[in-house]
């Protein structure tokens, strides 16, 4: 089924379900009787099935910490090494520098994650929407505000975003907290503005999908936000939590459609936010802490199977009604997988992690739910591999010189020159892994480009018949190269001690 067809079917089921539902949902809404699968996020690869985690480690994988300054602080070291926190968010104060400087900071963070023996590469997140909501500095291709970018059309959105995402991926960023799927329907909105593509879901939905495609082409995971929707309420949750008077029926005909478009496009994550929406939950609970909204609407009714991430638990409006050590527990209980602390006070973040650990130990938050959330987050981190430090280079064990790992097209453009895998058995394993991941991939960009690299290499005399000649031969581009490196054992990336073998490694000693 095409994404457009999946989206149409999803909305039809949603509307049918809404007609029979009461306007107020104090309990978790029942899922519709017809199971609908909407561009599901790919499951954890069979090559990396994460084992069950100790509960403190599982809790840590759900947490994204912030820190002050542009160097790793002792407090952040404690959070990663001792609390096993698996994610970090970067702001302008952390990374308002060159792309190389950002990459160096990420390398240090990733090394800290390795020192902590985290179950997956450290998650590095950033808020790089475009325009005024941009955190990374020079060397990363800038983007205009979404409203201005959307005027150029969906194809231009994808092209521009892919350039920005490529720079972020090269610096080691895993997850971009973008795009904005909110509909700007209230002129008194004080937080979304031109960050939104517009007010019409028929226009916003395709542009959200195009933005997601651009991020994926560049090698970065996407986050559709701010569920269930900002832009319809006056005010700014950074200052005070606003109330959106939208009814369930109006919401499902409006904002739900733009979020459903993002889900149909294969977004990796959806961000929930702090807004009161009595029409979706009759209780006086911020949406991102509401189980009827997070689990009932997003997980069950919209059938989103990926990572649900909170907006910052440091939002001024939220902290005014619930301190972070309480809101982190409420957010986990509501069904969020990834808890965005985003505070420069690492002592407060440490207390918040301890509060969540205690809530799990007491049964206030289900240990099984924590394990499920941790595995969703780990799956995302394994799909978007860590940056190879520095700048994608590693040392050759045979020559001691830097080894550059390139895409299959770059390998072919050099006439097929490069290193070969150690032996034929490894070659066969490599090709099987590449084909399996290609078949599993939910990214249309990988499927549509499948074979381009293989055909180019075959014209140069590499490979036999339909075999995939180089590493990633059936998956074209730098993003595919990054994608598969996360799933291949290190021995598949070893250079050969001789020039024997027909399956060539896509790399070259420099």
Active site residue ranges: 238, 311
108 CB contacts (<8 Å, ≥6 apart)?
72
Calpha distance 251→265 (Å, rounded): 20
123 CB contacts (<8 Å, ≥6 apart)?
64, 86, 87, 88, 174, 175, 377, 380, 381
Q: Which of 351, 320, 306 is nearest to 79 (CA)?
A: 351
Looking at the DSSP assignment, which residues form a beta bridge with residue 64? 87, 340
Calpha distance 192→180 (Å, rounded): 9
Contact 509, 402 (CB under 8 A): yes
| 457 secondary structure, DSSP code | H
Q: What is the 3-state secondary structure (H, E, C) of 222-240?
A: CEEEEECCCCCCCECCCCC
Q: Write out the two tokens for 17.
A: 């379900």
Calpha distance 168→145 (Å, rounded): 18
Looking at the DSSP assignment, which residues form a beta bridge with residue 65? 88
The strand order across the sheet containing 123-126 reads 175-176, 123-126, 87-90, 63-65, 339-340
Q: Which of 318, 314, 335, 333 is nearest to 270 (CA)?
A: 335
Contact 420, 412 (CB under 8 A): no
Contact 506, 416 (CB under 8 A): no
Distance of CA 496 to the CA centre of its chain: 35
């Amino acid at each position: 089924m095409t994404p457009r067809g999946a989206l149409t079917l999803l909305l039809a089921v949603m509307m049918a379900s809404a007609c029979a539902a009461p306007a107020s949902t104090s309990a978790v809404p029942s899922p519709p009787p017809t199971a609908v699968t909407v561009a599901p996020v790919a499951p954890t690869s069979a090559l990396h099935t994460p084992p069950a985690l100790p509960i403190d480690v599982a809790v840590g994988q759900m947490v994204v910490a912030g820190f002050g300054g542009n160097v790793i602080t002792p407090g952040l070291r404690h959070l990663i090494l001792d609390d096993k926190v698996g994610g970090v968010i970067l702001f302008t104060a952390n990374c308002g520098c060159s792309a190389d400087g950002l990459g160096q900071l990420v390398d240090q963070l990733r090394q800290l994650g390795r020192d902590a023996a985290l179950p997956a590469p450290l998650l590095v997140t950033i808020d790089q929407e475009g325009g005024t909501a941009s955190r990374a500095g020079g060397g990363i291709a800038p983007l205009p505000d979404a409203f201005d970018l959307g005027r150029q059309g969906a194809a231009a959105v994808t092209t521009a975003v892919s350039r920005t995402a490529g720079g972020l991926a090269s610096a080691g960023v895993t997850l971009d907290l973008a795009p904005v799927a909110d509909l700007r329907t209230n002129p008194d909105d004080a937080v979304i503005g031109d960050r939104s593509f517009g007010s019409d879901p028929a226009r916003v939905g395709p542009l959200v999908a195009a933005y997601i495609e651009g991020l994926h082409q560049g090698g970065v995971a996407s986050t559709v936000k701010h569920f269930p929707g900002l832009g319809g309420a006056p005010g700014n949750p950074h200052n005070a939590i606003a109330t959106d008077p939208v009814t369930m029926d109006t919401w499902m005909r409006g904002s739900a459609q733009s979020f459903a478009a993002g889900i149909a496009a294969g977004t990796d994550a959806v961000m929930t936010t702090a807004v009161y929406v009595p029409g979706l939950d009759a209780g006086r609970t911020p949406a991102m802490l509401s189980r009827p909204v997070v689990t009932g609407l997003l997980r069950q009714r919209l059938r989103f199977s990926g990572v649900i991430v909170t907006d910052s638990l440091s939002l001024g409006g939220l902290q005014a009604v619930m301190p972070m050590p309480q809101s982190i527990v409420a957010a986990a209980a509501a069904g969020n997988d990834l808890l965005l602390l985003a505070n420069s006070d690492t002592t407060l973040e440490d207390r918040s992690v301890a509060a969540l650990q205690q809530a799990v130990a007491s049964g206030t938050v289900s240990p099984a739910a924590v394990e499920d959330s941790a595995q969703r987050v780990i799956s995302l981190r394994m799909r978007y591999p860590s940056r190879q430090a520095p700048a994608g280079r590693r040392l050759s064990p045979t020559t001691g010189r830097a080894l550059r790992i390139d895409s299959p097209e770059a390998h072919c453009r050099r006439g097929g020159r490069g290193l070969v895998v150690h032996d034929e058995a490894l070659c066969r394993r490599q090709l099987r892994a590449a084909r399996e991941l290609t078949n599993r991939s939910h990214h249309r960009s990988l499927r549509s480009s499948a074979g381009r690299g293989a055909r180019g290499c075959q014209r140069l005399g590499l490979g036999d018949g339909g075999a995939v000649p180089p590493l990633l031969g059936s998956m074209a581009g730098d993003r595919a190269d990054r994608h598969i490196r996360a799933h291949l054992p290190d021995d598949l990336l070893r250079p050969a001690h001789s020039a024997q073998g027909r399956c060539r490694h896509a790399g070259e000693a420099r």
